[in-house]
Homo-oligomer: A and B are copies of this chain.
Amino acid sequence: MTVLTDQHTAEREAVDAGLRAAASRLPAPAARIAAYHFGWTDAAGEPVQANSGKALRPLLTLLAAKAVGEGDSWRQAVPAAVAVEMVHNFSLIHDDIIDGDGLRRHRPTAWKVYGVNDAILVGDALHALAFEIIAEAGGDRATKGTGLLAQTVRALIEGQLADTRFEGRDHVDLNECIAMSEAKTASLMGCATALGALFGGGTPEQVQALRDFGFRLGLAFQHVDDLLGIWGDPAVTGKAVYSDLRNRKKSLPVTAALGSGHPDAPELAAIFSATRQLTETELRRAAELVEACGGRLASRRSAESLTAAATGSLAAGGLRAEAAEELADLAAGTVGRVW
């Protein structure tokens, strides 16, 4: 995790300052909730040094900008980085309501503290703010950026709609699950890097290469996230143990396991089709079965090959070597966080 927290100080500071300046425009009750959600204050509104998330997406945006421009030109992409992080956090706030998740980044979620109604409105406010900030950058990149960001939100919603529907279905094909993960996660990470390249002044070929990088890394990231949703240490992930199994998420490793044809798969399917709340014993057993059916290994291998493919995308477009290496390191660090 060092690569995610100790490096890129200038970029992180630029994102943090941009996020705080943007959030200060919100009406007071919304600004208060956003400050809590971002980890800048506690529920009483007092400043804290909380874990405000990895800020992976805005960092991807700025490193993508560095890959297409010289010197300080990456700073042109700060509004794009802020907008991407706003969209990400709007979707987190709404998804936590929808999934009924009470814990994020080791703290009660926004709806748990401020109620569902205010959490809906704060999500809406961050959503609009993202477009406001992109538009202020002006010019062709603002118009293109708005279009790309809006299409990405559409994909996020498509992914979330599929995700909630999969929970209620007995059978989900692995291809459906991959398409859902692409929509839910890869699209925004591809958008993050594409916007960075666009705002950094990259060529269309560079924008495409960096979008491919982000998209592939995003799908790898979802595999890792799904593994952490089963085997992650709650002290590290900040989420409840087995939370994805508890919600009967048809995550990538679970879907791979259910479709594996392994003799243990029917037992796993039976646990997933129970309509009552699962016991701790059942949750533990479900995790064992996902592993026995090869779901854990399949997701790990997919994450590794997707990360390799992502890094491969960086060979196109004549990107700046140093920044491309930083992106490759970030990819390795992000995906390596589970094993």
Residues of A participating in the B interface, judged by any CB pair closer than 8 Å: 25-27, 29-30, 90-91, 94, 97-98, 116-118, 120-121, 123-125, 127-129, 131-132, 134-136, 138-139, 142-144, 146-147, 149-151, 153-154, 157-158, 160-162, 164-165
Contacts and interface: CB of A to CB of B under 8 A. Distances in A.
Contacts of A153: 124-125, 127-128
A121 to B, nearest CB: 5
Interface hub of A123, A129, A150, A160 (most chain B Cβ within 10 A): A150
A150 B130 CA distance: 8
Task: Say whether chain A's binding surface is mostly helix, strand, loop, or mixed.
Answer: helix
B154 A121 contact: no
A132 B147 contact: yes
B143 A138 contact: yes
A97 B162 CA distance: 21
6 contacts: A30-B157, A97-B120, A118-B161, A121-B157, A135-B150, A143-B143
A135 B127 CA distance: 16
Contact of A154 (B25, B143, B146): B25
The 8 A-B pairs of least Cβ separation, nearest first, read A132-B150, A128-B153, A27-B158, A135-B146, A135-B147, A98-B117, A131-B150, A128-B150
A97 to B, nearest CB: 7
B121 A124 contact: no
B29 A124 contact: no
A142 B146 CA distance: 9
B128 A157 contact: yes
A158 B128 CA distance: 12
A121 B29 contact: no
A214 to B, nearest CB: 19
A26 B154 contact: yes
A187 to B, nearest CB: 12
Given A98-B121, A132-B151, A135-B146, 17 more contacts: A25-B154, A26-B154, A27-B157, A27-B158, A94-B120, A94-B121, A124-B127, A124-B157, A125-B154, A131-B131, A131-B149, A132-B146, A134-B146, A135-B144, A135-B147, A142-B146, A143-B146
Contacts of A90: 124
A154 to B, nearest CB: 6
A157 B98 contact: no
A141 to B, nearest CB: 10
Contacts of A131: 131, 146, 149-150
Contacts of A165: 29
B161 A94 contact: no
A91 B26 CA distance: 17
Contacts of A157: 27, 30, 121, 124-125, 128
Nearest to A138: B143
A123 B129 CA distance: 16
A29 B125 contact: no
Contact of A129 (B129, B138, B154): B154
Nearest to A94: B120
B98 A161 contact: no
Contacts of A29: 161, 165
